[in-house]
Chain A
Amino acid sequence: MEHSRTTASASGSFLQYGLRFSTSVPNDPDTHDDFKPTNKLENSDLTLKDIVEQDVKDNHVMIYMKGDPEQPRCGFSSLAVRVLSEYRVPMHSRNILEDPELKKAVQAFSMWPTFPQIFINGEFIGGSDIILNMHQNGELKEKLKATSSE
C-alpha cells in the first residue's frame, strides 16, 4: 500500500476544510493514563456495532468508504467525498478496506450492501448514487444546513 498510516484497523480520520487530522495518538509512556490512547476495537466492552452507532451519533457527517478522503481507493468513494467536500462541512471517515469485520458491521447496521455509505446526523443517507442525486436536486444542501445549525 502506498499509504503509510499504520494505525489500528478502525482508526478514523477527520477532514475539515481540506486539512486532515488523524485521531490516532502516539504511544508516549510519559503520558498520564487519562491521556492514553484508547483503541475502541481493543476495548472488549465495545462491539463493532457500538462503534458504528457511536460514529454516526457523534459525527454530523460520517462516511464509511474504501480508502480515506485524501486517497479514495474506489471511484464511488471518491465521488462521494468530492460531492461532500463541496459543502465544506467536517467529515469523519473510516476505511473499511482496513477491517473486514468493521465492513460487515456497517453493512449489518445500515442493511446496505455496498460502499461508500454516508450518514448525516445519525441518519443513513445512502451510497454515492444517492448523494450525487441529492446534491443535484438541492436536498443535500438542506440536509447539511439542518444539521450544522444545531
Chain B
Amino acid sequence: MGVSKEQVESALRSKLAPSHIEVIDTSGGCGASFKVEIVSEQFEGKRLLDRHRMVNGALAEEMKDIHALSITKALTPDQWNKQQQSQTFQPVA
C-alpha cells in the first residue's frame, strides 16, 4: 500500500512545524514517490544534509513504502522570504 500526500504532509507538520509546506505526489497516484518543499524554523543553523536528515527522520515510518522522496527545498523562514521577494521583483512577462 502506498502513502498518501496527506500522510506525508501531516507527519512533516507534526514533527517539523513548518511555516510553509508543499507535498506533491509524483507517483501518478500509487503513493510511492513525492516531492517536498518545506520551510521550518527548526532548520535554522543546520546545513542542508542535516535538514534532509530531519525530513527523512520525520518520515521514517512512511519511507518504508515510499520509493522516491525528492526534497527540492528545505529552507528557514528567512531564506524562504528572501526567495519569495526575489521572485516577486522579477518583471511580469
Residue numbers of A with Cβ under 8 A of B are 76, 111-114, 124-130, 133-134
Contacts and interface: CB of A to CB of B under 8 A. Distances in A.
B70 interface: yes
Interface stretch (B9-17, B48-56, B80-88): B48-56
- Nearest 6 interchain pairs by C-beta: A126-B49, A129-B71, A113-B63, A130-B48, A113-B56, A129-B70
Contact of B48 (A113, A128, A133): A133
A114 B57 CA distance: 12
Interface in B14-44: none
B72 A76 contact: no
Q: Summarize A's interface: helix, strand, loop or mixed.
A: mixed
B52 A129 contact: yes
A113 B69 CA distance: 10
B69 A114 contact: yes
B52 A130 contact: yes
B63 A126 contact: no
Given A112-B56, A113-B56, A113-B63, A130 B68 contact: no
B56 A76 contact: no
Given A112-B56, A113-B56, A113-B63, A124 B49 contact: yes
Contacts of B70: 76, 128-129
A125 B52 contact: no
A127 B53 contact: no
Nearest to A114: B69
A133 to B, nearest CB: 6
A114 B68 contact: yes
